[in-house]
Structure 1
Amino acid sequence: MSAAAAELLTRQGGPIRTNEALRDKVAIFSDGRCLVSRSNAEDIDVISVIALAGRLGFATQAAEYVDLGSLRSLYSVSREHAVWPAVGRAARDDTAMQREVHELILRARRLEASDIHVVVDGNAVSVRLRVNGELMPLPGGTDGTPVHWQVEHGRQICMTAYAMAAEGGTADANYDPFGYQAGRIVSGLPEGIQAVRLQFNPVGYSGRHMVMRLLYAGHAVGRSLADLGFTATQEAMLGELTESQAGLVVISGPTGSGKTTTLERLMRTIVRRKPGESLLSVEDPPEYRIPGVVQLPVSNLRNDGDRGSAYADAIAAALRSDPDRIMIGEVRTPAAAHYAFEAAMTGHQVLTTLHANDALGIVPRFLDIGVEAYKLRDPSLIRGLLAQRLLKRLCPGCRRQVHPRDSRLAGDALARLLAVVGDGPVWLPGNGCDGCRGGYAGRTVIAELALPDQHLLDLLCAGDRQAAVDYWKSVLGGWSFADHAMDKLLQGIVDPQQIEYRVGRLAAP
């Protein structure tokens, strides 16, 4: 029996008799796990009750030392249930805490946040929102001061959010405050939020880290690729790829770079243009509903090994389901890569994502996870290589136009800016207005896109990166991240400091 489903033997009325004072010191489980309050490590009552467990036939492991709040949280959840800690059921009637979770999500939505971070660590709780790609404290009042929670309140918020996911069947029924867990809240959410994806991580000294990813309903409906930030040329190239019926289109970028949004936008385009095709997706789990696409979920798996195996099984099932095109949320393992290439080699188009630093890094990354070089040298298989990142977009309502010498750059960075724009003006963020937050209004894509030919793939497979970059830019007309960012700088869409921070040194496109 796993610790997450073990019986709490020392609960009130449990097999090992205890009183309230003793329950503040120790918790013993049927799988042998023994949690002891740090301040009572050598307490005679603790030693006695552990010995009693042994005499009753319950073998115990070496003690794990936790804080008092953790013990009280365990017992508060277990008052009505013998299994520790079945919060999916125990917290079901805790409507007050559910309202607080709902209000937290609502406040994040009002600020157009993508994520909520709650860290319960020792004697403090940190609550931050990711807005325009950067973390900021959750405002606690009209004066903007950060919200302040007690440690126990932070634990209860985490536990209740998990319970809400468990009620929807997207997480295990048993909450483990010391383990890695994931879930998804799919009901009872504020208007405009389709779902909230949850990730729980243990933190040293019995702490907890919860990340809530807000998935906005209809976030990309009606938005073109140009609206996301792609150039007209890139939009035309991506449109050309959606007309193809075979090969791989691979999108890369760091976490939070908008890969899923772009992938969804491409699938919606295909649905609109190809209504007679069978479109399937394999996702871990599906983040957004895409009408016209049969979305196969891979979720609620405890470790990467199980997840990788389930992903490969789901892709294999999709191949047996008469698809014309398959979208794979992410290729993470050799098995998933094998099935993705098998699909592409048997006349299906595959759209997927992969973690790589840039567009030309996708082929070497496939080599790293075991894809054979002969497959990667075939331009009929490798049809499109796209990499993207997001930069904060200047608010058009309050941005400021200044001379480069009045920008926030100095030293070598200023010299690089002057080399690019000369005496021409640059745009900086304003002080904020009704249409933005702090001078920025959302984010915009910068992208690299290659439709590779045989020679480019040969160079990449041979490991000659510099020759590949030179050929891509001079012969195939490739644009790097820096090129795209500098173009947006000259248009007044982004500011120079963002480029230096997110992309690299300023340089003329």
Structure 2
Amino acid sequence: MSITTDDSLIIRTWYEIATYALDARASDIHIEAGAQSTLIRIRVDGLLQIQSHYPIEFHDRLITRIKVLARLDIAEKRLPQDGRLGIGHNFSKPNIDCRVSILPTLHGEKAVVRILPSCIEELDLQDIGLLSEQLEIFHQALAQSNGLILVTGPTGSGKTRTLYSCLRELNQNHRNLCSIEDPIEIRLAGVNQVAYHPRAGLDFPTIIRALLRQDPDVIMIGEIRDAATAQLAIQAAQTGHLVLSTLHTRNACGAVPRLGHLGVDQQSLESCLLSVSSQRLVRKTCAQCLGFKIKNNVPCSFCKGSGYLGRIGVHEVLSKTHLFNSSTSYLSMRDAGLIHMQSGLINQAVLDAEVGTWH
């Protein structure tokens, strides 16, 4: 099948969009159909910004190109679709994995391409913003052969990266590591990753029961969403397995009452809960311009004049002692953020915006 001039143009357009996003350190590419044009936006350091506009006549062909790369049904335009594709600066050898979501909207299908970390070496507990005493709590919990480690926070706060960093630290030949994920974001060598697929009968409880028959040492559960998953996670943690998971709570202290609402009794929690952390991702002050984003009327070439470059996690990490002994003091998320602020990594405005002024 020959490639027409129009086909070549669309292929080149997608390549330019993708490489621009990579150069900008984007985490997501949004391709949106409007009434008159196609809008391309990218998310950098948590904020969406406009990359470009294209004629609306390009839209369907651009979406089709993405569907082809992601091995999706190009004829299906009424239903959402999910897939994966690769991008890279080398046109013929894309080496960066991406997750693709297609959604029908008023003026046409919208595509969101999530750019995943390019290598497992980027996943290290030392590099996610933990302070030394918080890192020590993590290390002590991960050194146990059984128990439950929880990471809490809102969507987009970096919980999955923290869990992956824990798995990387635990990933040794003498351990059988398994994970249940929705979806699998990064392929981890040495970890038996299972995708959540309820239409095929693979929900969290079903997969956990199956994994418990697979002689696991470590089980990562993407999220504890319901009572059945909570009970099985506790059961696994009490029967010789190290279990890692996430929970949606405002802060680390909220994990215990949240699990109580899901039917887990206090005695069980006290017997197996090793640590709970909560986190937010906060934009870092650009180290090159130190927030003075325009000098001599020229924007900083590193942060493009935004004043920020990258993000860092601000954490609240509680050990079992902190969780069940109310007289024990701990470093709150706000306190941790203030320490980062004193180090010049972040400023007051972003700390207040992401963490708030409570605590």
Contact 1:394/1:429, CA 8 A, preserved across alignment: no
What SS is found at the alignment partner of 1:163? helix
1:411-450 residue pairs with structure 2 within 5 A?
428-431=291-294, 433-437=300-304, 438-450=306-318
List per-residue Cα deviations over 1:79-118 (Å, max 9, x = no partner): xxxxxxxxxxxxxx95653443333222111100001112
List per-residue Cα deviations over 1:397-441 (Å, max 9, x = no partner): 211xxxxxxxxxxxxxxxxxxxxxxxxxxxx45335344342212
5+ residue gaps, structure 2, are: 1-5
Contact 2:21/2:29, CA 8 A, preserved across alignment: yes
List per-residue Cα deviations over 1:320-364 (Å, max 9, x = no partner): 111111112222333333332221122101111222222122233
List per-residue Cα deviations over 1:361-389 (Å, max 9, x = no partner): 22333334x333246x5323211111111
The amino acid across from 1:244 in the alignment is Q
Give the CA RMSD over aligned residues: 2.8
Aligned equivalents of 1:477 and 1:429: distance in 2? 37
Q: Which has the higher strand share?
A: 2
1:505: Cα distance to partner? 2.7
1:506: Cα distance to partner? 8.0
Q: 1:255 to 1:152 in 2, by over 3 A?
A: farther
Contact 1:122/1:207, CA 8 A, preserved across alignment: no
List per-residue Cα deviations over 1:127-152 (Å, max 9, x = no partner): 111101111111xxxxxxxx221223
Aligned equivalents of 1:506 and 1:337: distance in 2? 29
The equivalent residue for 2:54 is 149
The equivalent residue for 1:288 is 186
Deviates more, 1:127-136 or 1:355-364: 355-364
1:350-361 residue pairs with structure 2 within 5 A?
350-361=243-254
1:265-280 residue pairs with structure 2 within 5 A?
265-271=165-171, 274-280=172-178
1:96-495 residue pairs with structure 2 within 5 A?
97-138=10-51, 147-166=52-71, 171=72, 173=73, 175-185=75-85, 187=86, 189-190=88-89, 193-203=95-105, 205-218=106-119, 221=121, 224-271=124-171, 274-298=172-196, 301=197, 306=199, 309-368=202-261, 370-374=262-266, 377-399=268-290, 428-431=291-294, 433-437=300-304, 438-453=306-321, 456-457=323-324, 471=326, 475-495=327-347
The amino acid across from 1:477 in the alignment is S
1:175: Cα distance to partner? 4.9
Aligned equivalents of 1:257 and 1:340: distance in 2? 22
Alignment size in residue pairs: 348
By relative contact order (CA 8 Å, sep 6+), the higher-ranking structure is 2
Q: What is the percent sequence identity of the aligned residues?
A: 31
Q: Select the structure of larger CA radius of gyration.
A: 1
TM-score, length-scaled by structure 2: 0.87
5+ residue gaps, structure 1, are: 1-92, 139-146, 400-427, 458-467
Aligned equivalents of 1:497 and 1:372: distance in 2? 38
Aligned equivalents of 2:276 and 2:307: distance in 1? 33
List per-residue Cα deviations over 1:147-202 (Å, max 9, x = no partner): 22122322322232122212xxxx5x3653232222221x4644685311112223
Aligned equivalents of 2:34 and 2:228: distance in 1? 38
